[in-house]
Structure 1
Amino acid sequence: MRIGIAGAGRIGAYHAKTFKELPGVDEVILSDAFPDVAQRAAEEVGVASSPDVETMLGRIDALVITSPTNTHGELIRAGLAAGLPTFCEKPVAASLEEAIELALLEQQTDVPIQIGFQRRFDVGYRRAREAVESGELGFIHTVRACSLDTAPPPEAYIRVSGGLFRDCNIHDFDIIRYVTGVEVDVAYAVGGNKGTDYIKQAGDIDTGMGIFTMTDGTLVTFSGSRENSYGHDVRMEVHGSRGDIGVGLDESLALISAEEGISWPTGPRVISFMDRFLPAYHVELDAFLAVARGEQPSPCTAYDGVQALRMAAACDLSVSEGRPVKLAEIAGADLTKPGE
C-alpha cells in the first residue's frame, strides 16, 4: 500500500517514520505547502517526497493529513473526491460548520475518514472502556479527566489553534464519549489566564475546566492547562457504584504525593505528548491501514470528530456567556451517527 502524507511538520514526519515500519506499506510519500520542507523531512526519515499534494494524490492508495487545521477541509474533500481512505489529525476542520459538512460528505461518498484521536488506542483508556462496558464498575456516577501540557505552543500556533478547548481538551472530550459510551447533555465551563501573555492577547485562555452532565446523569469534570511545566499530565478516573479505575497512574505520573513515606511515582516524568502516547500512535496508524484495506470500518469517524467539536463549542459559549449550555443549542444536533 502507498501512503501519502500532506503536511511535513513534526507529526507528519513522525507518522511517515511509523508507516515506514508497519507491515503492508510499500511506499510513503511526504508533501507540504513548502516543497523544500517536504523534501528535507523525507530525506531525514528515508521516504519519498512530492512537490505538491495534487501530484501525490495520483500516486497513493490512502491519504494522511497532518497539515494546519485551516487546510483540513480542503484536503479531506480532495481525498474523498479521489476515492482515497483518509486519515486526518484532529480537529476535522477549522469550524464546526465545515466539520458537519465533511461528516455528511463522508456518509454520501462512502469513503472512510479516520480522525486522529490517539487516546482511543491507548491501553489504559481501552481498559477503562472495557470496565465500563462489562459492568465491572457498576453504574458510573462520576468521571474526571485532565490534559496538562508542559509548555504553551508557539504564539503563531496559538493564534490559529482554535483555543484551549478545541486544541487541547478536545482529546478529553472525545475520550469521555469513547469510555463512557454516553453523549453530553449540558456543559458548563470556566477559564482564565495566569501564564503566558501572548495566549491572553490572542483571545484564548491558558487554563480551563468544566462540568459535563451526560445524558444518563453521569457527572464529568475536566481540566486543561498550557502551563504544567512539571510534566505532561494526562489522566482519567472513572468512578462507579462497584469499582473505580484510573488511566495514567503509572511510574511516570507528573505528580508527587504529599503523604509521609510515599515515594511513588519513581519513574522519569513524561514531557511530551508524543512520548506519552508513542505506542498508541502505532496502533492507531495500523488500524487506519486496516480501514484503508477495507477490513474494518473507521474506529473514529468524522461524526465522532464533530461531536468533540460540539462539546468544545459548548464550552467556549459557556465561558463567554457565563452559563450552562445545552448541547442541543450547538449546531450538528441533528447529525446522524453512521449506521443509524
Structure 2
Amino acid sequence: MTTLGLIGLGRIGAFHADTLTNLPEISGLVVTDERPDSVAEVAAKYDATPVDSVDKLLSSGIDGVVVAAATPAHAELALAAVERGLPTFCEKPIAATAAESARVAEVIARSGVPVQVGYQRRFDAAFAAAKQAAYSGALGALHTVRSTTMDPAPPPMDYIRGSGGIFRDCAVHDFDVIRWVTGQEVLEVYATGSVQGDPLFTEYGDVDTAAIVVRFDGGALGVVSAARYNGRGYDCRLEVHGFDDTVVAGWDRGVPVRNVDPAQSGPSGFPSGMPHHFFMDRFAEAFRAELSAFVKVVQGGPIQGATVADAVEVAWIAEAATESLRRGVPVRIEEVKQ
C-alpha cells in the first residue's frame, strides 16, 4: 500500500484528493495548502492527515508527492520533492516558462527521481485509441490533426493573472496531445487571438479566444482552437486525418454541440446526452487512470504518462505560440529555444 502527499488544495487539488482517496492502492493521504481552512476541510472530508507546511509534508514518511498548487509554485515544489528522492506527479506546467522548464528538467534528469506530468488526455480511452490508430498505420500518412478545447466559462481572473496565458495554461493540453498522437515534433506555429469577453484578459496580456496552426516535422499540419467562453459546456475534441482514414475522439453523447441537421436533431438524434459540464467530469476516468498509473511509478514501475521531457517540448510550443501572437508572424521552435 502507498501513502501520498498532496500539495495544493484548490480546484484541481481538491478534485485529486477525492480521486486519490478512492484508489484502492492508496493507504493514506497527507495534505497541505497555504490556506489552513482548505487543509482542515479536505482533511476532514477525506480522512487525510493535515500538515501546515510543505516541509512537514515532505518529512512525513510519504512514498510520493502530487503537486497541484498554483502554476508559479510548480518548479519549486517539484524540485523540493525530488531533492527528498520522492517520486513526483506534477500538474502541468512544470514551470512558468519554457526556459525554466528546461532548467528544471535538467535537475530532475540528474537526480534520477521519476517525475510524471499531468496531461490526463493520454489516459482517456478515446484519445488513446486515436493514437493507436495513427501509430498502427491504419490511417495512412497523416496530413491534418485538429484539437479543440473550449471552457464553458473562464476561471477566476486571479487565476488568469498568474496562469501564463491561454497557450501555457489551456492549449498546452492540445499541444501535448497532437504531438503524442502524431509522433511528430513541431517545427513552427502561427497563433492569433482576440478578447471578446472580460477586458481583464487584455490587461493581463492574455486572450480569451485563440487559434493556432502547427507545422510538424513529418509534414502533417495541426489546427488548435481554444476558448474561455463556450456556454453550452466543456468542449474537448480531437480529429486525426490520414490519407486512408480518419478517426475522432470526444464526439460522444455529451459533446456540447447542437446538431441542426433536421435528419439528426431532436431527442433521438446526436448528441443525445447532457453536455459535459467541465473538464473534471469529462475526464474523471482519465484522471483516475492517470493517478493510478502514478501510484505504479511510486511502487517502482515506469512512467506511462507524460514525462518531464514531454512537458518541456510542449512548453516550447506554448512559448512559440505566445511569441507568435505578440509579433503576428509564424515562429519556429528553434527561434524560441535559442
- TM normalised by structure 1 equals 0.95
1:255 to 232, 248, 257: 257
SS at structure 2 position matched to 1:151: coil
Q: Which residue of 2 aligns with 1:282?
A: 288
14-23 vs 112-121, which moves further: 14-23
Q: Which residue of 2 aligns with 1:45?
A: 46
Q: Which residue of 2 aligns with 1:337?
A: none
- Quote the offset at 1:35 in angstroms: 2.6
- Quote the offset at 1:259 in angstroms: 1.7
2:72 to 70, 73, 83: 70
Q: Which residue of 2 aligns with 1:99?
A: 101
- Quote the offset at 1:163 in angstroms: 0.4
Preserved contact between residue 148 and residue 236 of structure 2 (Cα < 8 Å) = yes
Unaligned runs of 5+ in 1: 334-340
Superposition map of 1:295-310 within 5 A: 295-297=301-303, 299-310=305-316
Runs ≥4 in structure 1, deviation > 4 angstroms?
A: none
1:150 to 144, 147, 152: 152
CA RMSD of aligned residues (A): 1.1
- Quote the offset at 1:184 in angstroms: 0.3
SS at structure 2 position matched to 1:142: strand
Deviation by residue 1:273-296 (Cα, 9 ceiling, x = unmatched):
100000000000000011111122
Q: Which residue of 2 aligns with 1:213?
A: 215
Quote the Cα distance in structure 2 between the aligned partners of 1:8 and 1:154. 16
Q: Which residue of 1 aligns with 2:179?
A: 177
Deviation by residue 1:134-160 (Cα, 9 ceiling, x = unmatched):
001111011111100000111111100
Deviation by residue 1:174-209 (Cα, 9 ceiling, x = unmatched):
001111111101111101111122212222100000
SS at structure 2 position matched to 1:266: coil
Quote the Cα distance in structure 2 between the aligned partners of 1:273 and 1:12. 14
Quote the Cα distance in structure 2 between the aligned partners of 1:245 and 1:88. 30
- Quote the offset at 1:85 in angstroms: 0.2
1-10 vs 41-50, which moves further: 41-50
1:322 aligns with 2:328: yes
- Quote the offset at 1:261 in angstroms: 2.0
Quote the Cα distance in structure 2 between the aligned partners of 1:281 and 1:328. 33
- Quote the offset at 1:298 in angstroms: 5.1
Quote the Cα distance in structure 1 between the aligned partners of 2:16 and 2:327. 39
1:230 aligns with 2:239: no
Quote the Cα distance in structure 2 between the aligned partners of 1:13 and 1:257. 35
Identity of aligned residues (%): 39
53-62 vs 16-25, which moves further: 16-25
Amino acid at match of 1:293: Q
Q: Which residue of 1 aligns with 2:245?
A: 243
- TM normalised by structure 2 equals 0.96
Preserved contact between residue 35 and residue 50 of structure 1 (Cα < 8 Å) = no
- Quote the offset at 1:36 in angstroms: 2.9
Quote the Cα distance in structure 2 between the aligned partners of 1:31 and 1:175. 31
Quote the Cα distance in structure 2 between the aligned partners of 1:327 and 1:169. 16
- Quote the offset at 1:262 in angstroms: 1.1
Amino acid at match of 2:148: C
Quote the Cα distance in structure 1 between the aligned partners of 2:216 and 2:332. 11
Deviation by residue 1:212-261 (Cα, 9 ceiling, x = unmatched):
01001101101000011111100010001110000100111111223222
Quote the Cα distance in structure 2 between the aligned partners of 1:88 and 1:316. 23
SS at structure 2 position matched to 1:186: strand
99-108 vs 275-284, which moves further: 99-108
Aligned residues, how many?
332
Quote the Cα distance in structure 2 between the aligned partners of 1:34 and 1:257. 44
Preserved contact between residue 92 and residue 119 of structure 2 (Cα < 8 Å) = yes
Q: Which residue of 1 aligns with 2:14?
A: 13
1:28 aligns with 2:29: yes
Q: Which residue of 1 aligns with 2:279?
A: 273
Preserved contact between residue 13 and residue 42 of structure 1 (Cα < 8 Å) = no
Preserved contact between residue 64 and residue 86 of structure 1 (Cα < 8 Å) = yes
Preserved contact between residue 147 and residue 237 of structure 2 (Cα < 8 Å) = yes
Amino acid at match of 2:6: I
- Quote the offset at 1:330 in angstroms: 1.7
140-149 vs 297-306, which moves further: 297-306
SS at structure 1 position matched to 2:80: helix
Quote the Cα distance in structure 1 between the aligned partners of 2:107 and 2:29. 26
Q: Which residue of 1 aligns with 2:114?
A: 112
2:84 to 82, 85, 99: 82
Q: Which residue of 2 aligns with 1:312?
A: 318
